[in-house]
Structure 1
Amino acid sequence: MFNPRPRIETLPITGRHACHVIDDALLDPGALVAHAVRHIGDFVEAPHNAFPGPELRMPEAFSAQLDAFFSLHLREHFAVRRTERMYSRLSLTTTTPEQLRPAQSLCHVDRLSVSPAHRIVASVLYLFDDPELGGTAFYAPKHPPEVILPMIHASGQLDAAAFEAAYGVRTGYMTESNAWFEKLLSVPARFNRLIVYEGTVFHSGEIRHPQRLSTDPRRGRLTLNGFFTCRRSLAA
């Protein structure tokens, strides 16, 4: 299903970090949209993570195709030897700004800590035609870990009013720099565009027009998300 001859554009984020962009990633992206439509009743909310909407775990056979594409075309960009664990899911952004939890009003990482022998890589494939539904933005902390980490922990413990009072972060989708994070890069959405980046870089969906969100996979902000736990190369 994946393009056997992808063209990869590399966009610097900060330091050694970069976002790798592949347009026309799937040979038949409509098949994934149709899969989402057929299985819309199987999408479920996952309150343990930061995603603002329901998700559908993809079959292992499909995830294996994504991993094979990553291994063949992108692994060398991350200085990793092999994938030890990975999975993929379809995700549909549906949460209104006022319903977001404090942690969802911030950018996030896909893993706060990882062993020195491993590297976390994440991918997003945009499966919607409307670019106004938003791409992905990348951020850097403005404060050291001893300041940032307690704030992040509090975002998972406090309600919206208490979190805003303590840290000055209002409920809503993060689209710009704030007192805690500086925006470094914005990657626009495009149908059948795949982006791949290190999951420990702070990032967020750039939802500037939440009124355009929909629970219909044919009209809403449908994405395919992949997560890879990789063994670092010996020289990395």
Structure 2
Amino acid sequence: MFNPRPTVRYVAIAGHAPCVVVDDFLLDPRALVAQAAAAQARFAVDPANYYPGPELDLGRETALRLDEFFIQHIRRALGAQRTISVVARLALATLSPPELHPLQRLCHRDCTDLAPGTGAAAAVVYLFDDARMGGTSFYRPTQGSEHTVRVLRAAHAGIASDAHAGGYLSASNADFEQLCTIPAQFNRAIFYDGEIFHAAQIEDAALLHPDPARGRLTMNGFFRLRKRSA
């Protein structure tokens, strides 16, 4: 399923572990796009994770194969010793700016309530041809931890600040500084520390489409891990 001889490169993220970029990630990416299109009716929105569109779980076998790739090629760069749990999903961003919840107008982290010595990592595989639908950007808070917590709590409660009144976050603002952007490319995978604030770099939401064969389709992986001792 995954390229057994990948070319791996690293993009620095100031103050954090690098983003690991792997091009030509899947051996047959078009087959996965076709699978997504055939299963479009089974995609569903999960309100618990605030993804801006429907998702489809890819099952345990795919998740374990993704974890095998992570263990062999990625984990050392992200400071992981072993994987505690992993899931893999297809995801399709579809919401227009007026439909976004305030949390979906912010960057976010893929972790909550991490126990000491544990961490999180994530993967995104771009499965669309039109790179204008956007890659992934990484951010850092600019106003200190207490202010950031207040901003996130207000957004969770459905309150949007003036700084986040527009659509998808795609540039620095008063609360978050954009550190770098990884452009989308068909069959490109990125792996990154889930504790880094990040957001899909969607600058033109009019390009989004509900058809998996035409829209911003991605394969997303989420890892809980035991961190390597210093």
TM-score with structure 2 length normalisation?
0.97
Partner of 1:194: 189
Matched, 1:231 2:223: no
- Distance, in Å, in 1 between the alignment partners of 2:156 and 2:187 is 33
- Distance, in Å, in 2 between the alignment partners of 1:45 and 1:98 is 17
Matched, 1:131 2:126: no
The answer to whether the Cα contact below 8 Å between 2:86 and 2:221 also exists between their aligned partners in 1 is yes
Q: How many residues align?
A: 230
- Distance, in Å, in 1 between the alignment partners of 2:226 and 2:74 is 14
- Distance, in Å, in 1 between the alignment partners of 2:163 and 2:117 is 36
Cα offset, 1:59, TM superposition: 1.3
Runs of 4+ in 1 over 6 A off after TM superposition: none
The answer to whether the Cα contact below 8 Å between 1:123 and 1:227 also exists between their aligned partners in 2 is yes
Deviations 1:87-137 (A, max 9, x none): 010000000011100000001111144122111000000000100110000
Matched, 1:217 2:224: no
Deviations 1:15-70 (A, max 9, x none): 23211100000100111111111111110011111310000011111111101000
The answer to whether the Cα contact below 8 Å between 1:43 and 1:55 also exists between their aligned partners in 2 is yes
Partner of 1:27: 27
- Which secondary structure does the structure 1 equivalent of 2:148 belong to? helix
Cα offset, 1:209, TM superposition: 1.2
- Distance, in Å, in 2 between the alignment partners of 1:115 and 1:145 is 19
- Distance, in Å, in 1 between the alignment partners of 2:93 and 2:64 is 24
The answer to whether the Cα contact below 8 Å between 1:139 and 1:182 also exists between their aligned partners in 2 is yes
Alignment of 1:95-134 (within 5 A): 95-134=95-134
Partner of 2:58: 58
Deviations 1:170-216 (A, max 9, x none): 13111000000000001100000000000010000011111111011
Matched, 1:181 2:176: yes
Partner of 1:170: 165
- Which secondary structure does the structure 2 equivalent of 1:4 belong to? coil
Partner of 2:142: 142
Letter in 2 for 1:189: A
Letter in 2 for 1:11: V
- Distance, in Å, in 1 between the alignment partners of 2:92 and 2:164 is 24
Alpha-carbon RMSD across the aligned residues, in angstroms, is 1.1
- Distance, in Å, in 2 between the alignment partners of 1:50 and 1:225 is 14
Letter in 2 for 1:216: D
Partner of 1:18: 18
Letter in 2 for 1:14: A
Percent of pairs with identical residues: 43
The answer to whether the Cα contact below 8 Å between 2:101 and 2:158 also exists between their aligned partners in 1 is no
Q: Could you list the runs of 5+ residues in structure 1 that have no partner in the other structure?
A: none
The answer to whether the Cα contact below 8 Å between 1:91 and 1:225 also exists between their aligned partners in 2 is yes
